[in-house]
A = this chain, B = another copy of it.
Amino acid sequence: MTSSDGSHGPAKGEESVAERVWLREVGPRDGLQNESVSVPTDVKVELVERLADAGLTSIEVSSFVHPKWIPQLADADEVFARIRRCPGVEYSALVPNERGLERALKARVDAVHVFMSASESHNRKNINKSIDETYPVLQPVIQQAHAAGLPVRAYVSTVFGCPYEGRVPIEQVLRVVDKLLELGADEVSLGDTIGVAVPTQVTAVVEAVARRAPLDRISLHFHDTRGMAAANVYAGWLAGIRHFDGSIGGLGGCPYAPGATGNVATDDLLYLFHGMGVETGVDADRLQETAAWLEEKLGKPLPSHARQVARSACAG
């Protein structure tokens, strides 16, 4: 359902404008980190290669957080050592501190992703530090990454709501964003960690943050917990955002389980954008093949709507 197949694509006047968005694939890291299934290194390597082959140009490969905290990704160094790299593709990793950065540089990452929360209590629970104590940890990471010629992306969690504090005041989000930009972050990713955002809230937050940073330095990271992810992505897109995080097949969510949560699926984002005539550079069929392959490797179905429809079509 691309713009070529119907009369309801972009309006006539817009067709000459190359409508384009860029998807950040976070499945290998954010997805696998939240899967209970342990995944062999071979599968991780093949997954990353398949994602690049499908046209994704920004892939978060793994995490250099200490294996004590995320044992699922303890093989980050090996995965990076083994992946076949495509030109034009950015292979990034999550980096918590200077020690993680050392490993990341050795692994030849193309981009460094740091992280913290917009809400005090989530930041403490997640990284055992206050917000103010976190900046001095991130500062040398950002500086040294830049010194090594690498861009730095900063995830801000709980932007749209915190499990402990409820809605997070927009002023608090702006304080964190301002500080991260001041520290040199090249991009901020605004995360709806617990999947509570609604579209008008997205509009308000994006408009406020866009007064601090150009739109192309802002990305959005949604979870589909309450079924709002596509609506929130759409609101972000209307507000001018062109970078969105997604996880193949909704990896990291739990299908057929009560309270299924997790990243919005990259494949569902493809449906949304391709249906609206917006280019992503990603081949939806190849991504589906990879999702089907991954389901086999994981021994369980993935929760994206696209996968459910595809499985249903196969079964029918």
- A binding-site residues for B, Cβ under 8 Å: 1, 5-11, 160, 166-167, 169-170, 196, 198-201, 204-205, 224-231, 233-235, 255-256, 258-261, 265, 268, 271-272, 275-277, 301, 304-306, 308-309, 311-313, 315-316
CB distance from A57 to the nearest CB of B (A): 23
CB distance from A197 to the nearest CB of B (A): 8
**A8 contact from B1, B204, B228, B230, Cβ within 8 A:** B204
Contact B226 A167 (CB under 8 A): no
- Report how far A109 CA is from B306 CA in the complex, Å: 39
**A201 contact from B198, B200, B275, Cβ within 8 A:** B275
Chain B CB within 10 A, most for which of A170, A200, A306 = A200
Contact B256 A200 (CB under 8 A): no
Contact A8 B167 (CB under 8 A): yes
Report chain B residues within 8 Å CB of A304.
227
Report chain B residues within 8 Å CB of A169.
7
**A227 contact from B8, B224, B261, Cβ within 8 A:** B224
Report chain B residues within 8 Å CB of A305.
224-227
- Report how far A271 CA is from B169 CA in the complex, Å: 19
**Quick one: closest B residue to A316, CB to CB?**
B259
Report chain B residues within 8 Å CB of A259.
308-309, 311-313, 315-316
- Report how far A74 CA is from B228 CA in the complex, Å: 36
Contact B277 A200 (CB under 8 A): yes
Contact B6 A272 (CB under 8 A): no
Contact A6 B167 (CB under 8 A): yes
